[in-house]
Chains A and B, each alone.
Chain A
Amino acid sequence: MSARQPQRIALLGNPNCGKTALFNLLTGSRQKVANYAGVTVERKEGVLLTANGRRVSVLDLPGAYSLNALSSDEAVTRDVITGHSKETLPDLLVCVADATNLRLHLRLVLEARQLGLPLVVVLNKMDRARQLGITINKDLLARELNLPVVGTVSLHVHGADELKAALDEPLREVPPAHWKQPGVEQVLATQRAVLGIFERTVSEPSIDKDPSIRIDRFLMHPVWGFVVLGLVLFATFLAVFSGGDVLSGWIEEGFGALAGMVEASMRDGMLRGLLVEGVIGGVGGVIVFLPQILILFLFILALEASGYLPRAAFLLDKPMSAAGLSGRSFIPLLSSFACAIPGIMATRTISHWRDRLTTILIAPLMACSARIPVYTLIVAALFPNDATSAALVMVGLYLLGIVAAMTVAWFIKRTDKEHARSPLLIELPAYQWPDVRSLVIGLWERAMIFLRRVGTIILALTIVMWALYTIPSPRTNDQGAQRSLAGELGHALHYVFAPIGFNEEISFALVPGMAAREVVVSALGTAYSMEGEEGDVDDQLRKRIADEWPLATKLSLLLWMVFAPQCLSTFVVVKRETGSWKQMWIMGGYLFGLAYLASFITYQLTNILSTP
Chain B
Amino acid sequence: MDKEQVRTIGLDQLPEERWATVAGVTVPALASDQVLVLRLLELGFVPGERVQVVREARTGRDPLAVRLGHTTFALRRHEAAFIQVITTA
Contact = CB atoms under 8 A, between A and B. Distances in A.
B89 interface: no
Contact of B70 (A104, A208, A423): A104
Contact of B54 (A192, A213, A427, A429): A213
A400 interface: no
A45 B62 CA distance: 40
B32 interface: yes
B67 A213 contact: yes
Contacts of A168: none
Contact of A425 (B19, B48, B73): B73
Interface in B11-69: 17, 19, 27, 32, 35-44, 46, 48, 52, 54-55, 57-60, 62-63, 65, 67, 69
Count class of interface residues, chain A: 35 or more
Interface in A63-112: 65-66, 68, 70, 100-101, 103-104, 107
Contact of A187 (B41, B55, B67): B41
Closest 3 CB pairs of A and B: A428-B72, A222-B58, A220-B55
Count class of interface residues, chain B: 35 or more
A216 B65 CA distance: 9
- The interface centre, meaning the residue of A103, A222, A313, A424 with most chain B CB atoms within 10 A of its CB, is A424
Contacts of B42: 65-66, 68, 107, 187, 191
Nearest to A132: B70
Contacts of B63: 314, 317-318, 327, 424
A103 to B, nearest CB: 5
Given A208-B19, A216-B72, A426-B73, A318 B78 contact: no
Nearest to B17: A217
Interface of A: 65-66, 68, 70, 100-101, 103-104, 107, 183-184, 187-188, 191-192, 195, 207-208, 210, 212-213, 216-217, 220-222, 310, 313-315, 317-318, 327, 420-421, 423-430
B9 interface: no
Contacts of B35: 70
Nearest to A307: B72
A420 B33 CA distance: 11
Chain B interface, >50% SS class: mixed
Given A107-B42, A424-B75, A101 B58 contact: no
12 contacts: A65-B39, A184-B38, A216-B67, A217-B17, A314-B65, A317-B57, A318-B57, A420-B32, A423-B36, A424-B63, A427-B74, A428-B72
Contacts of A195: 46, 48
A184 B37 contact: yes
Nearest to B62: A318
Nearest to B59: A318
Contact of B71 (A68, A101, A424, A425): A101
A65 B43 contact: yes
Given A65-B43, A425-B74, A207 B55 contact: no
A424 B64 CA distance: 10
Contact of A427 (B55, B59, B73): B73
Contact of B65 (A66, A101, A220, A423): A220
Contact of A68 (B38, B48, B59): B38
A424 B75 CA distance: 6
A123 B79 CA distance: 31
Contacts, number: 120
Given A184-B37, A213-B54, A220-B65, A104 B74 contact: no
A100 B74 contact: no
Contacts of A216: 54-55, 65, 67, 72
B74 A313 contact: yes
B46 A191 contact: yes
Contacts of B70: 100-101, 103-104, 207, 210, 430
A317 B55 CA distance: 13
B78 A421 contact: yes
Given A314-B74, A318-B59, A428 B43 contact: no
Contacts of B19: 208
A315 B63 CA distance: 9
A318 B60 contact: yes
B58 A66 contact: no
Contact of B79 (A70, A100, A187, A423): A423
A107 B46 CA distance: 12
Given A103-B70, A104-B70, A208-B19, A187 B38 contact: yes
Contacts of B48: 195
A512 B57 CA distance: 46
Nearest to B69: A103
B74 to A, nearest CB: 4
B69 A217 contact: no
Given A68-B39, A188-B46, A427-B43, 8 more contacts: A191-B41, A217-B54, A222-B57, A314-B57, A318-B59, A425-B79, A428-B65, A430-B70
